Structure 1
Amino acid sequence: MRGWWQDLTDLVLPAECGGCGRPRTVLCPECRAALSGAAPSRVRPVPEPRGMPAVHAAAPYEDEVRAALLAHKERGALALAAPLGTALAGAVRAALEHGRSTGPGGRPTRLDGRLRPVNGQHGPEGGGTTTDGAVLLVPVPSSRRAVRARGHDPARRIALAAAGELRRTGTPARVLGALRQRRAVADQSGLDSRQRLGNLAGALEVAAGAARMLADSGRVVVVDDLMTTGASLTEAARAVRVAMTDAWDAATREAAGVRMPEATAGARMAGRNRTQAVRGMPGMTAAGDLICAAVVAAPPDSFERNRN
């Protein structure tokens, strides 16, 4: 006969480790070490998409790490969100440190080199104050169809766990679900890197009301559970970059007391295309940008430390 304590154990602990299948543990010590035991590293897909932000990953996507990510995403092992979030938090820290160490004076730059308006005021970088000084984690959204099928949004759930871990260890951070799909996209499985970029181009946009929060933030980190070709992170960074540019331009006009008539849809799209084409903007490849990215895992051959 089963005792009451066995029923309680079933509620508290999963049946097996999400990485190796060891019974009665969320993630065993060996699998936890595979996920978060090594220092996060810069990763680059080959070919690297134009406009992809600097990306850091916590672990190679193989063996136990792959099993844990799939268990969380596809099999609803929600208890794995905590250790996956801890791993993502490490990648976020590495991404932020990379920006501080390589940026001019350790500070991010305005898109076109001009002074960045902060809360409607002009001044040198760092001279103003942002909304709360928190790092914003912006998860790449799953499609509505995928969320319905899985019963949850894996990247958002892991991002929330990562933000909690960052706050616990002294880094102000919060999650902003700023991105949404503006059009349907095809299933990415079976598509090569070029096809994925075409499939996702222009597919994301920033929700109304989120652009100003992005523009007022100190740093934006686009986050996801996995990077493969980099197409999703590239499109997410593009959408965030366009929204921040529009918000800064609106703040500049507001501070100058200039009222501009609402642009036509064609003019707005032309402006977005021009913004996307300019090199050296945040989220492209320049160091010290406001936009970077972090993921839990990436293919082993994309890690810079694994390259000659």
Structure 2
Amino acid sequence: MAGWSRLLDWLLPPRCGGCGAVGAWLCAGCRDRVRRLEEPLCRRCGRELEHAGISCGCRARLRCLSRLRSVAAYEGPLERAIHRFKYAGWQALSPALAGLLAEAVGREVGVRPETQLVPVPLHPRRLRQRGYNQAELLVGELRHRLRLPRPAGRLIRVRDTPPQVGLDRLRRRGNVDGAFQWQGPRLAGAAILLVDDVATTGATLESCAAALKAGGAGQVTAVTLARVDV
């Protein structure tokens, strides 16, 4: 396998998802230009705050999600890399992007050996169109790195909702309300780490957390690569 991998790298060398340079899927220069989110952050939703100790008002809308953390702002090389990963078929970016996620998990979230990683699911129709779920690829890489178990069940999307892009906060919440369901054995108080690529208002993650709680989950924490504040 290693021989095949080296041959493929020679025939089709990696290209940086951030700048397109040949040599790595995310080059050192682009990694350095990723703007990590910095303290002070909201303790619940991870939003950057002007001053420590102030409330960002997220508690009213994040009732099932215990905590949300994102690696960086959705801008620059990370925005370009995520766009290629999500829409242009650059699935090979998943190890490099999962490496960034692992930073946030280790630094901000923390996991226990029994923590279950769950990707935000796509509706089957959209999955057929895209061919893969980018969140599921990230979870696969993270699960391998962190040596965490695979859940006996799965979170599914039972309603094909329109894209969230362009919707305001209230419409985003209504758009995904009741869109997810836990399929499988009761989670029996399990700690869940929910994974997605980008967080905006947190509406999708909150709806997923509600479905996981209905399925018996204990604490539900979420982590994303990037964050857009609206």
TM-score above 0.5: yes
Q: How far 1:36 moved relative to its partner?
A: 8.9
1:183 corresponds to 2:159: yes
- 1:139 is aligned to 119
SS of alignment partner, residue 32 of structure 1: helix
- 1:147 maps to amino acid: L
1:196 pairs, out of 172, 179, 204, with 172
**Contact kept in structure 2, 1:35 and 1:87, CA below 8 Å:** no
Task: Give the Cα separation in 2 of the matches to 1:30 and 1:36.
Answer: 12
SS of alignment partner, residue 189 of structure 1: coil
Q: How far 1:38 moved relative to its partner?
A: 7.3
1:235 corresponds to 2:207: yes
**Contact kept in structure 1, 2:121 and 2:136, CA below 8 Å:** yes
- 2:4 is aligned to none
1:67 corresponds to 2:80: yes
- 1:44 is aligned to 47
Q: How far 1:26 moved relative to its partner?
A: 1.3
Q: Pairwise CA RMSD of aligned residues? A: 2.9
- 2:137 is aligned to 157
Q: TM-score, normalised by structure 2?
A: 0.79
2:184 pairs, out of 202, 208, 224, with 208
Q: How far 1:35 moved relative to its partner?
A: 4.6
Structure 2 matches for 1:1-308, cutoff 5 A? 8-9=8-9, 11-14=11-14, 16-35=15-34, 43-44=46-47, 48=58, 49-51=61-63, 52-97=65-110, 133-167=113-147, 173-176=148-151, 178-209=154-185, 211=186, 214-215=187-188, 217=190, 219-244=191-216, 290-299=219-228
**Contact kept in structure 2, 1:136 and 1:175, CA below 8 Å:** yes
Matched-pair identity in %: 31
Distance of aligned partners of 1:134 and 1:159 in 2 relative to their CA distance in 1, 3 Å threshold: same
SS of alignment partner, residue 55 of structure 1: strand
Distance of aligned partners of 1:38 and 1:86 in 2 relative to their CA distance in 1, 3 Å threshold: farther
- Once structures 1 and 2 are overlaid, which stretch shifts more, 233-242 or 52-61? 52-61
Distance of aligned partners of 1:238 and 1:31 in 2 relative to their CA distance in 1, 3 Å threshold: same
Distance of aligned partners of 1:235 and 1:11 in 2 relative to their CA distance in 1, 3 Å threshold: farther
Deviations 1:105-150 (A, max 9, x none): xxxxxxxxxxxxxxxxxxxxxxxxxxx9421111110122222222
Task: Give the Cα separation in 2 of the matches to 1:135 and 1:35.
Answer: 28
Q: Which has the higher contact order (CA 8 A, sep 6+)?
A: 1
| Bigger CA radius of gyration | 1
Distance of aligned partners of 1:44 and 1:9 in 2 relative to their CA distance in 1, 3 Å threshold: closer
5+ residue gaps in structure 1? Answer: 1-6, 100-131, 168-172, 246-281, 283-289, 303-308
Q: How far 1:92 moved relative to its partner?
A: 2.3
Q: How far 1:216 moved relative to its partner?
A: 5.4
5+ residue gaps in structure 2? Answer: 1-6, 49-55
Q: TM-score, normalised by structure 1?
A: 0.60
**Contact kept in structure 2, 1:159 and 1:175, CA below 8 Å:** no
SS of alignment partner, residue 160 of structure 2: coil
Task: Give the Cα separation in 1 of the matches to 2:180 and 2:212.
Answer: 9
How many equivalent pairs are there?
A: 210
Q: How far 1:183 moved relative to its partner?
A: 2.3
Q: How far 1:76 moved relative to its partner?
A: 1.0
Distance of aligned partners of 1:88 and 1:36 in 2 relative to their CA distance in 1, 3 Å threshold: farther
